[in-house]
Amino acid sequence: MNSKSNALKFVLKLAVCLVLVAWILNVIFAGEAELQVKDWARLSFGEQVRESWTIGPAGLWKTISGVDIGWLLASLVFMGTTIFIGVVRWRLVLAVQGLQLSFGRAAGISLVAHFFNSFLLGSTGGDLLKAYYAAAETHHKKAEAVTTVIVDRLLGLFAMLLFVTLMALANWAVVMSQQRFMAVMLVVLSMLFVSGLVVVLSFWGGPTKPRLKFEALLAKLPKGDVLVRCIEACHAFGEKPGFLPRVLGWSMLLSLACVLQIVALGFGLGLPMGEHFRVLLLIVPAIICISALPITPSGIGVRENLYVWLLGATAIGIEAKTALSLSLLAFAGSLMWSLIGGAVYLAFRSRHSLD
């Protein structure tokens, strides 16, 4: 009976993986087909799907084959580096709660989350599954384990927004030269303010008496004790000396790796990325931050339009078609790592390993 149940679970997981991979490929193929089909927006949904799978695979292969193989592999390495750094950062967050998860187990959970990030809203939807698996790793600290996932994502976003702000100062003349850059920075600064406020309130919580009264009210709600434990878990991060600088430092390296992935692809396409490296340090993380907003699945559409809009600016001058290809290649690289995450998901087993 147990073997039949495990076989059924595996079949269901396999079905989920195949459907999601097909959906992701359809998005990439649609991007390629859109470059070649006139009046794409006027086609019906069924016609777009047909054209995507007719034209898309050949178009994608043509785009990929036009990239220098060495730079393409380098971009995949930089993409993998972002996942590696994310695992290191999450383990730092877990350690504050006394949860020592092995690097291999943390990497497995992160790869599964990366797989589901490819189709859920924004670029952080897979964190829901990451939180689920994190909670499954422990008997007695489920609330704390879930909190680590939220805090890891919050600090990662805050650090990248801070990175963009610093790069805006280094590219002040570019930012002030065109309204599109100013509009992007307005969104980034708004997100930085909100995320910074959440970090301060979560980690330090303000005056003790009002906080205790608030927690007492929460405790009266259904599952209120869990919410209180999450709040108390957040305060532990603010009380840990040196925690915030270490996490922000790793997050800054992650931001740099994201930029290097795009730069490698640009070099592979024969673009003069070296001339625009400093402004790319501003543009790429800004696009990633805005794409993280839960607007479309995996930020699709938002990310591509931002690449075309910003890379086509006077300061860069990359053609719209090339900018779109660059964005699709970057997403395809992320998809390659997502497929690895899908394979891990098929074999993944929940177990209590943190108690």
Instruction: Return the pLDDT at 353.
Output: 58
What pLDDT is attached to residue 286? 94
Q: What's the confidence (pLDDT) of residue 207?
A: 54
CA distances from 334 to 83, 111, 269, 343 (A): 10, 11, 18, 15
Q: Are 232 and 241 in contact (CB under 8 A)?
A: no
Amino acid letter for position 85: I
Per-residue pLDDT band for 194 (boundaries 50, 70, 90) equals very high
Is the pLDDT confidence value at 144 over 80? yes
Helical packing angle, 243-268 and 320-347, nearest 10°: 120
pLDDT in tens, 227-261: 777 778 888 898 888 899 999 999 999 999 999 99
Tell me if the pTM is above 0.85.
no
Please tell me the predicted confidence (pLDDT) of residue 164. 96
Average pLDDT over the chain, rounded to an integer: 83
Q: Which tokens is 191 given?
A: 């997100």
Q: Which of 163-177, 270-284, 287-301, 333-347 has the lowest mean pLDDT?
A: 287-301
Look at residue 40 in the predicted model and tell me its pLDDT. 76
Position 53 confidence tier, pLDDT thresholds 50, 70, 90 = confident
Task: For 160-239, list the strands marked E by DSSP.
Answer: none
Which of 94-103, 161-170, 187-196 is predicted least confidently?
A: 94-103
End-to-end CA distance of the chain: 29
Reduced to 3 states, what is the DSSP secondary structure of residue 301?
A: coil
Which parts of the chain fold into alpha helices (H)? 2-36, 45-65, 69-96, 103-117, 127-136, 142-170, 172-177, 179-203, 208-219, 224-239, 243-268, 277-291, 302-311, 320-347
